[in-house]
Every structure is written in structure tokens, then in C-alpha cells.
């Protein structure tokens, strides 16, 4: 997961800096970012399953099980937040590509 997060951060930093400078580079970045979004989603699903396992194996209250699961599987919240933010960047890149296409 660490490698995926580094790749996502790198792509987003390159996009933000404006270093892409061409539609072709932007398409490559979009492809890489979308692929890494998929791979991170796989980690999110695994974290979700682990989270549910901890929560539902807990013998106490539902709320206590949820708190315990949140403590033991923090990756679920982290991956959700990163996936949401990454989807917004993917949308921004698509919009940028659309603007470039309409200008030409």
C-alpha cells in the first residue's frame, strides 16, 4: 500500500505543479492515477473486511465493537479519505483534458 500511496502523491504533485504541459502527459498521468486508484481500492476492500471481522467478533455492544474495529483497522478510514481525494483529482484532470480538447 505504501508504494501505491507514494505513486498517487507523486502524480498529484506533478499535476498541481503544472509540469505536465501537454495533453498527452496529462492522459498518461490520468491513466497512472486511475490504475493506482484501482489498486488502492483493493486495499480498501481488504481493510473493510478486516474491520467488519473485528467489529462482529466483538462480544460487547455494537458501539464498542465499532470503536475496537476503528482502533485495530485504521487503514479503512485512511483509504476511504485518500480514495475520495484521489477521485476529485481524477475529475479535475478529466476536466482539464476536456478544456484542452475544446480549445483545439
Residue 23: exposure state from Cβ atoms within 10 A (0-12, 13-18, ≥19): middle
Domain ranges of the chain: 2-103
- The rounded radius of gyration (Å) of the Cα atoms in the chain is 18
pLDDT score at 21: 85
Per-residue pLDDT of the chain (104 residues; tens, 9 = 90+): 999 999 999 999 999 998 888 999 999 999 999 999 999 999 999 999 999 999 999 999 999 999 999 999 999 999 999 999 999 999 999 999 999 999 87
DSSP 29-40: HHHHHHHHHHHH
pLDDT for res 12? 96
**Predicted TM-score of the model (pTM):** 0.88
Amino acid at each position: 500500500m505504501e508504494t501505491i500511496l507514494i505513486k498517487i502523491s507523486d502524480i498529484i504533485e506533478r499535476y498541481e505543479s503544472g509540469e505536465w504541459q501537454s495533453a498527452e502527459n496529462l492522459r498518461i498521468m490520468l491513466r497512472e492515477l486511475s490504475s493506482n486508484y484501482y489498486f488502492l481500492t483493493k486495499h480498501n476492500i481488504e481493510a473493510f473486511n478486516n474491520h467488519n471481522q473485528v467489529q462482529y467478533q466483538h462480544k460487547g455492544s455494537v458501539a464498542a465493537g465499532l470503536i475496537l474495529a476503528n482502533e485495530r483497522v485504521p487503514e479503512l478510514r485512511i483509504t476511504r479519505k485518500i480514495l475520495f481525494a484521489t477521485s476529485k483529482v481524477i475529475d479535475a484532470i478529466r476536466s482539464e483534458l476536456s478544456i484542452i480538447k475544446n480549445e483545439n
